[in-house]
Structure 1
């Protein structure tokens, strides 16, 4: 299993972002159900978001991001960063699988 940090950068004003937040979060729920997403949330200040994800390939994560309403509606762009975690808190051991 590979691990990824996905950085979202908003391309539109926050008023427009807000119109898509509910469907975006509903879509993210599908990622949690499939155990693709490990954590998610907005950046502070609110210029985008961050996803911690895992998958078999970068393409799998790209496909997931492409299905996000934020992507489909041109609300955000995505930067996918693959990383290799080498140390974990014991509570996060389950994330390795």
Structure 2
């Protein structure tokens, strides 16, 4: 499992111009089963995605499709972790 941290590299006005395309991209990745949760950082300096992929390489390929990445509006950091303990409602994510 992976935590993806996006940090905006531009003004929010530029992010807003590409937000609809970014949301469509997120929906595609949820439908494909790659993304499990996502949302804005507080304060609004970027976002966080909880993702699953076979490898970091595959995840980088998935992230390359993000309009924010394609327009160079954000930097991405990937943290891989193994969820060994979860709330009971998230037991299906344990490894």
Q: Please tell me the TM-score bracket, short chain as reference.
A: over 0.9
What does residue range 1-97 of structure 1 map to in structure 2 within 5 Å?
3-96=1-94
Contact 2:86 2:94 in 1 (8 A): no
- Structure 1 unaligned segments of length 5 or more: list them: none
Give the Å deviation of 1:96. 4.3
Q: As a proportion of its length, which structure holds more strand?
A: 1
- Structure 2 unaligned segments of length 5 or more: list them: none
Runs of 4+ in 1 over 6 A off after TM superposition: none
Please give the TM-score of this superposition, normalised by the length of structure 1: 0.93
